[in-house]
A = this chain, B = another copy of it.
């Protein structure tokens, strides 16, 4: 594990490897897409396949982002209301539709859509940049 770096304002900066570890142990995150001035947020259940964030989607904004190879933001966090602490990780990278071995690996890891409907497209986001913060307690 790389050493973490202390910042002011009571937040610890997480290293990319720590961000990846947190992404791996979490199973719900948020796809955040630019939509003019007002971003939109889509919670999804996901699994990490290698370093790729993978989730299923139907037709819509997430699939269009993948079709146009648009960079997207993916966010996960864990907030502990009792202890008033938490962490947040942001991944940015290109979204692309995936299939073949990546689809097989994601399914083997238990990935399937929660909501009913035709969510048959597997999207993967390959993070270019991983940043994270944790509240110091």
Contacts and interface: CB of A to CB of B under 8 A. Distances in A.
A34 B43 contact: no
Binding site secondary structure of chain A: strand
Identical copies in the complex? 2
A32 B43 contact: no
A38 interface: yes
Contact of A9 (B41, B58, B88, B136): B58
Contacts of A42: 88
Interface in A24-44: 27-28, 30, 32-34, 37-43
Interface stretch (A13-21, A47-55, A69-77, A97-105): A69-77
A40 to B, nearest CB: 7
B41 A75 contact: yes
Contact of A8 (B39, B40, B41, B117): B117
Contact of A115 (B10, B33, B38): B10
Interface in A96-137: 114-119, 135-136
A24 to B, nearest CB: 15
